[in-house]
Amino acid sequence: MTTSVLVPASLTREAEDKREATRKIGYVARAATVFRVDRLTVYADPDGVEKRGAGFVETVLRYAATPPYLRKEVWDRRDELEYAGVLPALRVRSRTGSGSDESGSLRQGIVTEVGADGRVRVNCGLQHPISLPVPSDMEVGEGERVSVRVSSRRPVRAKLVDEPAAGFVVDAANLDDALARPDAGLTIAASRYGEELTVTKLDQLVERLRGGDGPGGGTGGSDDTDASDDESAPLGDLTVAFGAPERGLPAILDEDPDTVAAETGDERFDLWLNTVPDQGSDVVRTEEAVFATLAPLRLTR
């Protein structure tokens, strides 16, 4: 299952200063970590006002996604990171294997030197960079980020592996392109104008993610078994898009708020969903909406 979250480059448009803008982005990064999001995509909002530049949100998110032990190696001083100290600690849980050959923590590293003997030196947050052989099916270059499985620290035993490290990746893409990705799966637009999320609706969403009927509903079951009836069946891919403060997805997409949730509405999404029914505030901030939306969508039974 690949879970993708799409946020606009105008995410911090109403923040009074760079410090508050950085803190808001940090909350989005925290939500992505807590709910095991695989990819955070920043999409353009051409008519949205972003006082700190179009690349501000993406840069701060990339910094937040970088393990603390690699930040000094990867990032120079940048204006966008002036208040990086207010970002909340993500404390990403290490992924551990279940078998004897795959046990140990999976860490992200950066290649600091490439040798002529098929070995590289990698900084992966241990006391010193470590020398590792490069598997025959891998090619790595200096400055490249790699995954290292560490099975022992004293003495150090580790190896390069072709596996994604824990945490999320950050990229930038056009909204239409992001929704058309092969692993987009079920696409949801989070909006106060969408269909209200209920217990019954959540059951239907889980069924679609397990391969039941409906657009984006996974790969489906075999001829003899309906995957949607099997609680152990893996969930399919999911993409959730959010709007900007005081500028929701209908405004960004230039859609009529009264028609987006109808069958004749925007066809880029499988579903427009209101995950904060009967909200008590006039405005639900984007970072609040991310938490409110991902929490129920992580429920599987």
Give 83-114 pLDDT, tens digit per residue: 999 999 999 876 554 333 445 788 899 999 99
User: Is residue 212 packed enough to be buried (19+ CB in 10 Å), middle (13-18) or exposed (0-12)?
Assistant: buried
- Beta-strand relationship, 3-8 and 238-241: parallel
265, 259 in Cβ contact below 8 A? yes
Of 24, 6, 9, 12, give the one whose Cα is nearest residue 288.
24
Contact 156, 150 (CB under 8 A): yes
Predicted structure pTM score: 0.85
- Rounded to whole angstroms, the maximal C-alpha distance in the chain is 64
3-state secondary structure of 129: coil
Residue with tokens 């003997």, as numbered in its chain: 117
* H or E element that contains 179: helix 175-179
Sequence-separated (6 or more) residues with CB below 8 Å from residue 41:
4, 5, 6, 7, 170, 171, 172, 173, 178
Which residues in the chain come in under a pLDDT of 50?
A: 97-102, 213-225, 227-228
- In angstroms, the first-to-last Cα distance of the chain is 16
CA 87 to chain centre: 17
- CA angle, 80 then 86 then 89, to 5°: 110
Specify the pLDDT at position 23. 96
Which pLDDT belongs to residue 228? 45
CB atoms near residue 96 (< 10 Å)? 12
Predicted pLDDT at 52:
78
Q: Sign (positive/negative) of CA torsion 264, 266, 270, 273? A: negative
Nearest-angstrom CA–CA distance, 140 and 207: 41
Query: What is 64-88 written as a DSSP string?
Result: HHS-HHHHHHH----GGGTTGGGSP
The percent helix, strand, coil of the chain (3-state, each to 5) is: 25, 25, 50
DSSP 240: E
CB atoms closer than 10 angstroms to residue 64: 26
* Contacts (Cβ under 8 Å, ≥6 apart) of 179: 6, 187, 239, 241, 268, 269
10 Å Cβ neighbour count for 85? 8
DSSP summary character for residue 104: S
